[in-house]
Chains A and B, each alone.
Chain A
Amino acid sequence: GIQVEQSPPDLILQEGANSTLRCNFSDSVNNLQWFHQNPWGQLINLFYIPSGTKQNGRLSATTVATERYSLLYISSSQTTDSGVYFCAVFKLIFGTGTLLAVQP
Chain B
Amino acid sequence: SAVISQKPSRDICQRGTSLTIQCQVDSQVTMMFWYRQQPGQSLTLIATANQGSEATYESGFVIDKFPISRPNLTFSTLTVSNMSPEDSSIYLCSVTRGDYGYTFGSGTRLTVV
Q: Do A and B bind each other?
A: no
